[in-house]
Structure 1
Amino acid sequence: MTRIALPRRGIALAGALALLLLCALAATQVPAASALARRVLPAPPAASLPVGPLLERAMQRGLLVVGVRSYARPAPPGAPTPAEPDSYDVAVAQGLADRLGLRLQLVGLASASQDAALHEGIVDLVVAGTLDAPAGQGTALADGDYDSTPGMLVGLRSGRVRGTDDLAGQPVCVVQGSGLARTLVRRYEAAPRAYPSSVHAASAFMAGECQALADHADVLERLLRNDEWRFYRAIARGLAPEGDAVVRLAAGDERSREWVGAALREWQRSGEQDRARSARVGNVQFEVGLLKDGLVCHS
């Protein structure tokens, strides 16, 4: 086989041409080509990207308004506490606001009202986990999964669910907005029941409302180390959520959508995501611990 040796200047020129080609691919509307370019080219920092009209309005008011999940924490019977925002959703929203240099305002939203809040301009963004159904017309999704931790399944040691083969038709407690719900249906034909938070799902599971509990692996591994959880065991580990936790915004503003995707990647690389995950494990551990003291989860 004949080999052709290029001079160094020729190699540099070839590299430059290849880079220009990748840049052109990144701008193309052909999905496969632009996806290849995004994998090869370094991601631009959020600060270098222009924002679109949606985020420009937020900057003019000096405030980023984000819709999040919210729910009541454990409280004494008959004395419910007000709903508070989900701590992980807050961490994501705060990371975006910080990168814009804006104050953050949170709006607790039920799942059914999230898209309407976007379309009516009540919120700029929605950070509320995985969508229960495909995004409606007029809703755009930022690139990236901001909560891609593997899942885990827990059941009673003496329960009827001994393994994943026993899940068909069985109720499984999950958190609202968890991509594991789709995994349970598609892979195991289980019947997921959604609850407002990890502590609500755990409380329902311990009360016998479900045959199993699905949640983030780090959350359940920590709970299984508690003495009062000795009656439970892991049924499956390493479950992949079949659905991304995505930031939603109103459709038609590509620049703002790209900016949010870039900011999320920075948030993940900076270590802020790891800190948010650790905080979530600690929060769930604390809140579940309150249940044994007689406190209850109010809907």
Structure 2
Amino acid sequence: MTERRRSKRGLVLAGTALAMAVAVAVAIAGIGGAWAFATPVLSGLPKGPVLAQAIERGRLIVGVRRYPRPAPPEAPTPPEPDGFDATLARQLAASLGVPLELVGLDPAAQEAALSEGRVDLLVTGVPAQSAHGIAAAPGSYDVGRGLLVALRRGKVQDEAALRGALVCVGEGSGYAGAVSQRYGAQPRSYPSSVHAASAFMAGECAALAEDGEVLDRLMQNEEWRFYQPLASGLRPSSDAAIRLPEGDAVSRDYLAAALRRWRADGTLDKARGARAGNLQFEITLLKDGLVCHS
């Protein structure tokens, strides 16, 4: 391939990546805005010190997961907040009547950011381990049933063969603990579900564990014809809970009430559906030569 062709291909891929990023950002913004009006009124419930401070400050600061989106190998993009986390954080801010400030955090920095007061709350999926001084609002915001998929002609052809096998999962996934406890598999965590899918397709793991809605959509794509469902109905072993500093039971109860209402009115289902669509779009881009930079 000539240098001119390489340059032209790089520009095309870069343009594709930019268009993808804009499309996803617009979609997420639109979703958040539409749901803000549909969120049940929670303003009548009492707020503890954490939420009261956010209201007095005039903005809610929420720590979320972040990851770089698929991009050309020669033009990596910086990590951006996870869209699913951002949508839920936006709902919380809307319920308090204040603007939202998102802080994208790597796993190692999440607990410190909360403990040191740099964020009010964490919406980062299931923590790798519980930390002293951090509480969790009762209830999970990621309540889908998981699915395991594997290569059709690979070494793992049944659930029994999962013992000791590597299973790709995204950061904060509740399925990491589930595959370990239920099948004796070894979960391998990646910066996002997109990274986990990319690693699985590259042969780094024997199986991929993800929300069934996401994988059902992917299995309809031509490039996924080489994979097959291995086990379904996988339930997260731990809750993807909203975390806050210990000692504020009133704010914790407010957050728990918000989760209950969003589960009842379909807000969480809509958020999961939007996440499935965004992930399908991002993972599909991998076949166009874009890669997941770590």
TM bin, normalised by shorter chain, reads 0.7 to 0.9
1:192-243 alpha-carbon deviations (Å, 9 max, x no partner): 1001111111100000000100000000010001011000000001111111
The equivalent position to 1:98 in structure 2, one of 80, 90, 94, is 94
Contact 1:219 1:284 in 2 (8 A): yes
Q: Which letter does structure 1 place at the counterpart of 2:141?
A: Y
Q: Could you tell me how far 1:45 is from its partner in structure 2?
A: 7.0
Contact 1:85 1:106 in 2 (8 A): yes
Structure 2 counterparts to residues 45-84 of structure 1, below 5 A: 46-84=42-80
How far, CA to CA, are the matches of 1:266 and 1:197 in structure 2? Answer: 27
How far, CA to CA, are the matches of 1:244 and 1:274 in structure 2? Answer: 16
TM-score by length of 1: 0.83
Q: Could you tell me how far 1:78 is from its partner in structure 2?
A: 1.8
How far, CA to CA, are the matches of 2:111 and 2:193 in structure 1? Answer: 23
Contact 1:45 1:262 in 2 (8 A): no
Does 2:272 match 1:277?
yes
The equivalent position to 2:166 in structure 1, one of 165, 171, 179, is 171
**3-state SS of paired residue (1:166):** helix
Q: Could you tell me how far 1:48 is from its partner in structure 2?
A: 2.8
Aligned to 1:86: 82
Contact 1:151 1:217 in 2 (8 A): yes
Q: Which letter does structure 2 place at the counterpart of 1:73?
A: R
Contact 1:95 1:267 in 2 (8 A): no
Q: Which letter does structure 2 place at the counterpart of 1:207?
A: A
**3-state SS of paired residue (1:205):** helix
The equivalent position to 2:236 in structure 1, one of 213, 232, 241, is 241
Identity %: 56
1:33-65 alpha-carbon deviations (Å, 9 max, x no partner): xxxxxxxxxxx9733321111111100111000
How far, CA to CA, are the matches of 1:164 and 1:88 in structure 2? Answer: 30
Structure 2 counterparts to residues 16-165 of structure 1, below 5 A: 46-133=42-129, 135-165=130-160
Q: Could you tell me how far 1:161 is from its partner in structure 2?
A: 0.4
Contact 2:41 2:95 in 1 (8 A): no
Aligned to 1:207: 202
Q: Please list every run of 5 or more consecutive structure 1 residues that lacks an aligned counterpart in the other structure.
A: 1-43
Contact 1:172 1:193 in 2 (8 A): yes
How far, CA to CA, are the matches of 2:92 and 2:292 in structure 1? Answer: 30
**CA RMSD, 1 decimal:** 1.2
Q: Which letter does structure 2 place at the counterpart of 1:191?
A: Q
Q: Which letter does structure 2 place at the counterpart of 1:248?
A: R
How far, CA to CA, are the matches of 1:129 and 1:168 in structure 2? Answer: 25
**3-state SS of paired residue (2:125):** strand
Q: Could you tell me how far 1:271 is from its partner in structure 2?
A: 2.3
Aligned to 1:30: none
How far, CA to CA, are the matches of 1:237 and 1:295 in structure 2? Answer: 30
Aligned to 1:268: 263
How far, CA to CA, are the matches of 1:45 and 1:262 in structure 2? Answer: 11
Q: Which letter does structure 2 place at the counterpart of 1:217?
A: G
**3-state SS of paired residue (2:270):** helix
How far, CA to CA, are the matches of 1:277 and 1:45 in structure 2? Answer: 21
How far, CA to CA, are the matches of 2:263 and 2:100 in structure 1? Answer: 19
**3-state SS of paired residue (1:178):** coil
Q: Could you tell me how far 1:267 is from its partner in structure 2?
A: 2.2
Q: Could you tell me how far 1:115 is from its partner in structure 2?
A: 1.2
Q: Could you tell me how far 1:171 is from its partner in structure 2?
A: 0.7
Q: Could you tell me how far 1:269 is from its partner in structure 2?
A: 2.3
